[in-house]
Structures are given as C-alpha cells and as structure tokens.
Amino acid sequence: MNFQLNNVPLRTQKPRKNGLTMVMDKGLSVRQAEDLVAVGAAYIDFVKLGWTTAYITPKLEEKLAVYRDAGVAPYFGGTLFEAFIIRNQFDDFLRLLEKYQLGYAEISDGSITMPHEEKCEYIAKVAQHATVISEIGSKDNTKIMAPYKWISLMKAELEAGTWRLIAESRESGNVGLYRESGEVRQGLVDEILNEIPNEKIIWEAPLKSQQVYFIHLLGPNVNLGNISTNEIIALETTRLGLRGDTFHNFI
Amino acid sequence: MNFQLNNVPLRTQKPRKNGLTMVMDKGLSVRQAEDLVAVGAAYIDFVKLGWTTAYITPKLEEKLAVYRDAGVAPYFGGTLFEAFIIRNQFDDFLRLLEKYQLGYAEISDGSITMPHEEKCEYIAKVAQHATVISEIGSKDNTKIMAPYKWISLMKAELEAGTWRLIAESRESGNVGLYRESGEVRQGLVDEILNEIPNEKIIWEAPLKSQQVYFIHLLGPNVNLGNISTNEIIALETTRLGLRGDTFHNFI
Amino acid sequence: MNFQLNNVPLRTQKPRKNGLTMVMDKGLSVRQAEDLVAVGAAYIDFVKLGWTTAYITPKLEEKLAVYRDAGVAPYFGGTLFEAFIIRNQFDDFLRLLEKYQLGYAEISDGSITMPHEEKCEYIAKVAQHATVISEIGSKDNTKIMAPYKWISLMKAELEAGTWRLIAESRESGNVGLYRESGEVRQGLVDEILNEIPNEKIIWEAPLKSQQVYFIHLLGPNVNLGNISTNEIIALETTRLGLRGDTFHNFI
C-alpha cells in the first residue's frame, strides 16, 4: 500500500487459498502481459488464457514465462480441453500439459455434450498430471440448469478430484450464473452455497455489478474469475471497500 | 499454430484475397501498434486509422512504418476523405496518399451528402493513385436504405473501380448493416449476397455476435472489418471453430 | 496536425483554462501511462487516478512522474478524500498532498453523507494546499437532486474556494448528470448553465454520446472529464468536428 488508511479489511496474501483472483487473457502480447503483472502481480493468482487462444497466440512460451516469473500461474481455458476431446486427442492434451509445464488444467463441457461420468473420469485422469479446475455450466444461454443439478454436478466433480469449481459466465457475463441481462441468479447462488463450501468455488464475475454482488455476499476474500485484464486494480479497491459500490462495507 | 489440433479449417494465408481481417486503430501509440502486430501480424491484413484520427495522431509516419514492417497495410478512414471533400481540398487528399505512400484509400459518403455519380467519379480518380476500398451506408441511423438501393450503389462502385466494398457499421456496430440494437439486417444481407460476389465485400462487424453471424453464414474465410485491436486472437479462434459460438461448425 | 485541413475550429492550447480534457486512469502500468501521453500529451490536461486506485497502484511515484514530465497534471480521485474523511484521517490526507506534491485535489461526497457546510470547510482548508476541484452529485443513482439544489451547492463550493466544479457521472456515465440509460438530463444542464459560468464546470462525460452532446451544446472547447484512456484521439476529433457525430458543426 502506498500510504496508511486505517481499518481496511485484510486481504489474504499470495500464495492464497481464498480470495483468489483469476484474470482472463484473451490474446495479450508478451509486453502487454508484462504490463499486466507490473500492476497486478500481487493481486492476481491465475491468468487463464481464454478458451483456445493458446493455440494461436504468438510467443506463447515467452508469455507463460512472464506470468510465472511474476508469481502468477497461467493455465489454458477449458474450451481447449474440449477441442482436444471432440477430436479424440485426449492423449495430445496430456502431452500439452507436460510440454508447457502447466501446473493447472481446466476441464469443462460448456461447448460439447458428454455424460457427466465421463467428465468426472477425465477430471480424475487429468488430476494425476495437474491441479484440476473444473467448470460447471453451459456456454449456451438456452440451457438453464436447476440448482439441484448444479449441486449434484459440483459434488461429483469434487469427489472426482477437482481442486476448485468454476461457475460459468463466459467473458460476457450473461450465461450460467447470470441471466441474459448479466443479473445474478441469486436463488441459484444461495442454494449452491447451502451445499458446497464457498472456498471451493471460483465465481466467474466479469462485470462490475457481479463482482460487487459477490463481495457484498461473501466478503473481500471471495474467489473471483474472468476478470478483465484492465480491471485488476479496480477489483482490488472494490474488495477493500474503497470504491463507491462497497464503500461502507468493511469499516 | 503452437500445437496440433486435427480438422481445423484452413485459413487463407497472407497475402490474402479472401478471409481478410481489417482492424480499426482509433489512436494507438507507436508501442501499442507494435503490440498489435506482435500478436496479430499473421492474422491482420489491414489496419484502418479510424475516421480522421490520422490528422492528429502523433508520430504518424512511425506508426505506419510499424504496420508495414509487419506486413499489414495501413490506410486512412473514409471520413478523412470526406473532410477533404467538404473543404474542396480533393487535390490535397491526393497529395496525402502520395506523402504517406498509402497503397489503399477509402472513399465514403457516410457523413456528407453527394450525388452518387460524383462519388463514383472520385472512386475512378482515386483508383489511379491507390487501390480503392469504398464504403456504402450512412453513419446516421435514421437513414435506412432499401436493399435494392444498396445493391445498385455497390454495382456502380465496383464498375467505377472499387477493389472491395465495405458495408458500414461504425465502430459501435449499430447502423448500416445493423439495427440500432446491433442485430444484423438479415434480409438485407441475403439480398446483397444474391447480387454481389461475397468476396467483393468486407463486412464491418465490430461486435462478436456480428462476427459469429457472418462466419456461420459465409465460413471461416469471410472478410471482416472494424475489428477491435484487442479482439484479433479472439476473432481468429472464432473463424477456426474454436470458440463456443462456432465450436461445432467446421469439424 | 499532420497535414492541412482548412476551417478546423481552433482549440485552446496548453496550459488551457477552457477546453480541458480530464482522463480517468483506473490502474495503468508505468509503461501504459507512457503510451497514454505518447498520443495524448497535447490533448490531456489532467489525469485523475480514479477513486482510490492510488492507494494500491504499484510504482505510483514513477507513474506520477511520467504524467508530469509530459505536462499533464495528475491528481487523486475524490473517493480517496472520502476514504480519509470517513476514517477521521483528514490530516493524513493533507500530508498525502504534500508527499506526492499534488498540485490539485478533488473533494467530493459521492459515497459518504456530510453536511454541505462541512464539505465547504474542507474545500476552504484544502485550497490552502492545492488547487481544488470539487465534485457535485451522488454515486448512488437512487439519489436524484433537483436542479436548484445542484446550483446552490455549486455556488457555495465556488465561494468556498473551488477552482473547477466536476459534475458526477462515474466511470459508467449513468448517474448524476445522466439517467440510468446514460442519457443526459438536459433540463438539469440548462438550469445549471443559466446560473453557473460554463467555464467553471468540468462535465464528466465517459460515453461518446455524452461528449457529443456537450460539444454540440457548448462548442469544441467545453471542459470534459472521465474520458477513457483509449479515447483521447477520438475525443479530440469529435471536438474538431472531424467525426461523423459532429461533422457539420464547425465548418
């Protein structure tokens, strides 16, 4: 902190188990990645290379090194896993984790249809090679799941070996946890929290209103994901009760 | 590509005639232009310096050099042509093309009113100095043209010497081809395609939903314009059927 | 200007008293700040480090130096003042101005409730240490003030020693001067202008439609604030009547 403000809530410090911030990189250059960590190294835990962008991003290894050198763990979006699966290239996916020395892997079924037992088998297999983050929820906003279904999928994936569950929102924040308007499905969130430990979930919350919602509900150290690369400092002030939307929360 | 994924559709390679991507630069610094080509050189064919931004952008020649050195052709937005015309400075416009060694020039009438024969005469004259890209459609969303009108203008401009037609959307994607909501005027697009070769058109499509629409309709190698500078990698994955919105398209 | 266009309206030159542009930096890295001034040094008068971002921005002093060296005055957002006040740390706030050698200070009450005489006392006190910019309007869009109230607050703050009044909009442009849709409260603006000299006001106008509104109403040299860091060149062309929205205004 650059100066003293009293009674600012404590944030967990890196390496964090709670209060995680996951940023979505949808195609930064190496230098832009350097800019991101220049402001965000202390605040960002993970950078997800969104969906399949890792496939075509130039100087990928250099960019991964920038993140790692700053103490930020990069990983590839779940859609990349799905792109391998739909092509029957699961072994190639495992080789990919090794090639890029990725400590984390995201397993999802947002764009493909697969029996849930099969997804859980993949979670179990991948968990032998990397820490698994698995994503629940479709990218298709016409496929709405009832809360009991979210909960049963989440429990099964935790049992299969998932480290953290991600609740889908896409980059745009209008599916999964959210209505098409971006509004939070509050009943869904309540029911999930009644059955699944909050710490096990990373809430994708790309829009400010969504970040504010979860910080109000679960405090400054809630796990948030799909944060835009230019909103890191903004989010951190929101967590600390130092932005209009959360100003009176924590003092 | 950084690794092997089977059955990914073939993209045309540079120098491309189809599958063109035109990006809109609305005032990048020289270093930001370097960042843009660091990720996008293989994917971007043209950078349009949006509307009249070339007039006041510092270090313009340096920025043009960055684009050219990366194999990306820069050109100036059509509103700049109109700014010269409305001041009776057409000769100065021609000198500008020479001064900056611009191989391409955009001719439009989105902000001024001019008889269409006059626009076609300008196209013919400018075509002697540069490859002409001409733009159809008003920037004013109260001026809606019937499809037959679009088609007759397009045919006349091709005859006058236009290399590619651009269908107007503005940066915001809510005029011309699109309703104020950003939704595509599908009937208009269908009628245009019935009369004008698809390859002759660059569809301005600044919003993801618009890009997805044209990729669904015309395949990965459709010509798209007014792409935001931070959406290059994202667009390319969408073209390749590697993003949720187009995931099942091409395998 | 890179080339000659006739009959372009005259813009005031730096150091400006009218036609001010205030940009909002919500967490740029030092290098991104360099990029901002590389294109904007001639056009930007102030950079506001939005709300409390100065508290947690790494390399803050380096960034302030980048702005100053480019002839751009940096200052801290009014929410930071409020964060000190709500903690009874006003003296620390004064020390902050000194520590960072800030020539300007923003005083606001957008997130806290304080009697207006108290706000005016703070304005008077801070004015002994820095040039005061004071902000009118709540960040809460359920708190709508009648025009006569805006005017009486503005008059009192000018009397207390404010140099320029800022009319609140937030980063999102949907409170204060604006309806939730972002539309300008035109009646409010008219009444304010009837009583307060236009030159004394910086209109926060983050959205293009809002910038266009004020340029139409008050000309190219209106004072505008909360401009996004990547819209500097765009705004300047709009001021000059060189963008579609203001194309016929000034010739």
pLDDT tens digits for range B112-127 = 999 999 999 999 999 9
Q: Do B2 and A53 touch (CB under 8 A)?
A: no
Q: A58 at the C interface (CB within 8 A)?
A: no
Q: Do B244 and A110 touch (CB under 8 A)?
A: yes
**What is the overall mean pLDDT for chain B?**
94
What confidence score (pLDDT) does residue A78 get?
96
Interface partners of chain C (CB pairs < 8 Å, 3 or more) are: A, B
A131-145, B157-171, C158-172, range with the lowest pLDDT = A131-145
Give C-chain residues touching A220 at CB under 8 angstroms: none
Q: Can you tell me the distance from the alpha carbon of C203 to that of C226, in angstroms, rounded to the nearest whole number?
A: 8
Give C-chain residues touching B26 at CB under 8 angstroms: 230-231, 233-234
Q: Where residue B250 falls among pLDDT bands split at 50, 70, 90?
A: low
Query: Closest-CA residue in chain C for B55?
Result: C2
Of A58, A84, A111, which has the smallest distance from its Cβ to B247's Cβ?
Answer: A111
Domain borders along chain C are 21-246
CA-closest candidate to residue C215, choices C207, C224, C227, C228: C224
Contact A251, A7 (CB under 8 A): yes
Of C42, C237, C251, which has the smallest distance from its Cβ to B53's Cβ?
Answer: C237
Q: Region B151-161: what's the mean pLDDT?
A: 97
Q: Can you tell me the distance from the alpha carbon of A136 to that of A132, in angstroms, rounded to the nearest whole number?
A: 13
What confidence score (pLDDT) does residue B165 get?
97
For the segment C68-99, what is each residue's pLDDT rounded down to a tens digit?
999 999 999 999 999 999 999 999 999 999 99
Q: Which two tokens stand for residue A5?
A: 């403000």
Q: Region C181-206: what's the mean pLDDT?
A: 94
Q: Region B234-242: what's the mean pLDDT?
A: 97
Q: Region B5-18: what's the mean pLDDT?
A: 95
For the segment B167-176, what is each residue's pLDDT rounded down to a tens digit?
887 777 778 8
Selected for mutation to probe chain A from C23, C51, C142, C143 (highest A CB count within 10 Å) is C51
Omega cis (within 30) before A197? no
Q: B55 at the C interface (CB within 8 A)?
A: yes
What confidence score (pLDDT) does residue A172 get?
77
Of A31, A38, A233, which has the smallest distance from its Cβ to C56's Cβ?
Answer: A233
Q: Do A92 and B4 touch (CB under 8 A)?
A: yes
Q: B28 at the A interface (CB within 8 A)?
A: no
Contacts across the A-C interface (CB distance below 8 Å): 89
Q: C230 at the B interface (CB within 8 A)?
A: yes
Q: Region B6-21: what's the mean pLDDT?
A: 96
Q: C135 at the B interface (CB within 8 A)?
A: no
Give B-chain residues touching A92 at CB under 8 angstroms: 3-4
Tokens 């990048």: give the residue.
B28
**What is the overall mean pLDDT for chain A?**
94
Q: What burial letters (b/e) apply to B9-23, b meaning 16+ CB within 10 Å?
A: eebeeeeeeebbbbb
Which segments of chain A have a pLDDT < 70? 250-251
Q: Do A32 and B34 touch (CB under 8 A)?
A: no
What confidence score (pLDDT) does residue C251 get?
62
Selected for mutation to probe chain B from A24, A26, A34, A55 (highest B CB count within 10 Å) is A55
What confidence score (pLDDT) does residue C177 get?
87
What are the phi and psi torsion angles at A45 (to 5°)? -95, -40
What confidence score (pLDDT) does residue C205 get?
94
What confidence score (pLDDT) does residue A170 get?
76
Q: What CATH number does the domain located at B21-246 have? A: 3.20.20.70
Q: Which two tokens stand for residue A222?
A: 């809630």
What confidence score (pLDDT) does residue C181 get?
86
Contact B94, B122 (CB under 8 A): no
- Residues 6 or more apart from C54 whose CB is under 8 A from it? A2, C60, C76, C77, C80
Of C29, C55, C139, which has the smallest distance from its Cβ to A39's Cβ?
Answer: C29
Q: Region C105-133: what's the mean pLDDT?
A: 97
The complex's ipTM works out to 0.95
Give B-chain residues touching C245 at CB under 8 angstroms: 139
Q: C96 at the A interface (CB within 8 A)?
A: yes
| DSSP letters for chain B | --S--SSPPPPP-SSPSSS-EEEEESS--HHHHHHHHHHHTTT-SEEEE-TTHHHH-TTHHHHHHHHHHTT-EEEE-HHHHHHHHTTT-HHHHHHHHHHTT-SEEEE--SSS---HHHHHHHHHHHTTTSEEEEEES-S-TT-PPPHHHHHHHHHHHHHHT-SEEEE--TTTT-STTB-TTS-B-HHHHHHHHHHS-GGGEEEE--SHHHHHHHHHHH-TT--EEEEETT-HHHHHHHHTT-SGGGTTS--
**What is the overall mean pLDDT for chain C?**
94
What confidence score (pLDDT) does residue A95 get?
98
What are the phi and psi torsion angles at B198 (to 5°)? -50, -40
> How far A4 CA lies from chain C's nearest CA (Å)?
8
What confidence score (pLDDT) does residue A169 get?
79
Give A-chain residues touching B35 at CB under 8 angstroms: 29, 31-32
